[in-house]
Structure 1
Amino acid sequence: MRTPPQPERTTMAREAEVTADSNASTPERILQAAERLFSERGIDAVSLREITSAAGVNSAAAHYHFGSKEAVLEELFTLRARPIAQMREQLLRDLTLDRHGRPKLEDVLRAFLRPAFDALHTPNGVAFTMLRARMAFEREEVRRAALGKAFNASSAMALQALAQALPKLEPKELYWRFHFVMGAMVYTMAAPGRIESISHGDIDTSDPEAALEHLVRFAAAGLRAA
């Protein structure tokens, strides 16, 4: 089967420029263009020059404000992830504890997962979600720098709450299970359409609320497994 021709880079750059806010500051325009191009093609496939062209600014501006493409990525992740991480931390702090001082497992999972699903409704939510999914295929040093700065603190809080909810689970096993929860979250939010195809349309993952509740039940069962 022939692979369909890919859009030329100049076309993608023009599309990204259309999405940029003409009233935004130069750094904001650079971040908007980078988000669009990164989410479409990945990090390594996009140059800093393409980003500045799409943003309608000169390359010197990008070097002045950010210094490198990797710095643009880190700033973009910090900007988009901050509301998600802050909401996670707030929800985790507000968890109701039982008489043993333990939160309910499903409440912990909702506190961790809901902010990411809610972000899909924001103006940049879909593009950032696609970029987050693409990060799984980027170079390790790129992944660790951007994801660590954006999400390590809120993930550590979630792990602490999960350990309280599951006091008998060994720490190493908890890390493994949390790894699978994060993978399921990113894949579900990216909505690749595979289960829609396999189920002949009987399953629709486009409803964030339904997807969240199914994921919470699935993750809770996995975390509680012997």
Structure 2
Amino acid sequence: MTKLKARQADHGGEENPELKPSVRKRLMDASEQLFAEHGWNAVSIRTIVTAAGVNLAALHYHFGSKEQLLSEIFAARAKPIAEERMRLLAEINLDNAPSLERILEAFLRPALTIGSDRRFGGRAFIKLRARLATEPEAISRKILATAFDESSGAFLSALRRALPDIPRADLEWRFHFMLGAMFYTMADAGRIQSLTDGRCDPGRVEDALQHIIPFVAAGFRSAPGSVRAIAKSRKQPK
């Protein structure tokens, strides 16, 4: 690409871009909204550049591909969540009977607060994250792993310290179910507001944390093998 074409791509083909957000930001903002609403696979490159008001060369110049664009959006949004989780975890004494509730709050609070902050994508990022968490695409798994595997691994280690009597496999399953509760709370689909005339509102973050932490803690503390015992009892002859 020549220097002239590079500058044109950098400006989306426009001659006077000074009063507009950068082309890179416009591409990221537009694609984040589109990916959140329709899913990564359903959005074409042409749809993205049209929504961003730039030319096709601009996307290839800044990101190279749609996959890289998604990766960079997610990395930028997820980084402050992972960093805040690790900061809060570092404040907990893991060497002396660490508090399960404090560990859970350190994990859940950043996702429900920073994740809903407009500075970090707000509702669009929450919807995008929920989509990636439920899509089986290899790219989705790769992006989530890059963003959160390191911090999530640290929390699994902390949970093993807090609950030494819970078998590792049971603990991992319970972590999986906690993620499900967290994602559905973040998604805030409106179903529970309808059922409760608004009394239960996941959009009120402090209320949500007040209720989800003891709920999840009870699940983590449940007796090991209790589910297997129930399954075994069902097989007993009547």
Q: Using structure 2 for the length normalisation, give the TM-score.
A: 0.81
Equivalence for 1:214 = 211
CA–CA distance in structure 1, aligned partners of residues 117 and 69 of structure 2: 23
Following superposition, the deviation at residue 176 of structure 1 comes to 0.5
SS of the residue corresponding to residue 203 of structure 2 reads coil
Equivalence for 1:9 = none
Deviation string 1:2-51 (CA, Å, 9 cap, x unpaired) is xxxxxxxxxxxxxxxxxxxx643222221111111111111111111111
- Segments of 5+ residues of structure 1 without an aligned counterpart are 1-21
Q: Is the 8 A contact 2:81 2:110 kept in 1?
A: yes
Query: Match of 1:121, as an amino acid?
Result: D
Q: Is the 8 A contact 1:108 1:161 kept in 2?
A: yes
Deviation string 1:115-173 (CA, Å, 9 cap, x unpaired) is 11112133422110011111234233022111111111111111111111111111111
Equivalence for 2:182 = 185
Q: Which residue of the other structure, out of 24, 31, 36, is the alignment partner of 2:33?
A: 36
Q: Is the 8 A contact 1:105 1:165 kept in 2?
A: yes
1:111 aligns with 2:106: yes
Go from structure 1 to structure 2 and tell me whether the alpha carbon gap of 1:139 and 1:49 turns closer, same or farther (over 3 Å shift). farther
Q: Mapping of 1:70-89 within 5 angstroms?
A: 70-89=67-86
Equivalence for 1:12 = none
Q: Mapping of 1:42-53 within 5 angstroms?
A: 42-53=39-50
- Segments of 5+ residues of structure 2 without an aligned counterpart are 1-18, 224-238
Go from structure 1 to structure 2 and tell me whether the alpha carbon gap of 1:153 and 1:23 turns closer, same or farther (over 3 Å shift). farther
Equivalence for 1:225 = 222
Query: Match of 1:157, as an amino acid?
Result: A
Q: Mapping of 1:1-226 within 5 angstroms?
A: 23-97=20-94, 101-119=96-114, 120-123=116-119, 124-226=121-223
Q: Name the % identity.
A: 50
Aligned length: 204
Following superposition, the deviation at residue 196 of structure 1 comes to 1.8
Following superposition, the deviation at residue 60 of structure 1 comes to 1.2
SS of the residue corresponding to residue 145 of structure 1 reads helix
Query: Match of 1:213, as an amino acid?
Result: Q
Query: Match of 2:110, as an amino acid?
Result: P
In our comparison, the structure showing a higher alpha carbon Rg is 2
Q: Using structure 1 for the length normalisation, give the TM-score.
A: 0.85
Equivalence for 2:3 = none
Q: Is the 8 A contact 1:43 1:138 kept in 2?
A: no
Query: Match of 1:117, as an amino acid?
Result: L
| Structure 1 stretches of 4+ moved >6 Å | none
CA–CA distance in structure 1, aligned partners of residues 150 and 20 of structure 2: 33
CA–CA distance in structure 1, aligned partners of residues 194 and 165 of structure 2: 39
Following superposition, the deviation at residue 199 of structure 1 comes to 2.5
CA–CA distance in structure 1, aligned partners of residues 156 and 134 of structure 2: 24
Q: Give the CA RMSD over aligned residues.
A: 1.7
Q: Is the 8 A contact 1:30 1:55 kept in 2?
A: yes
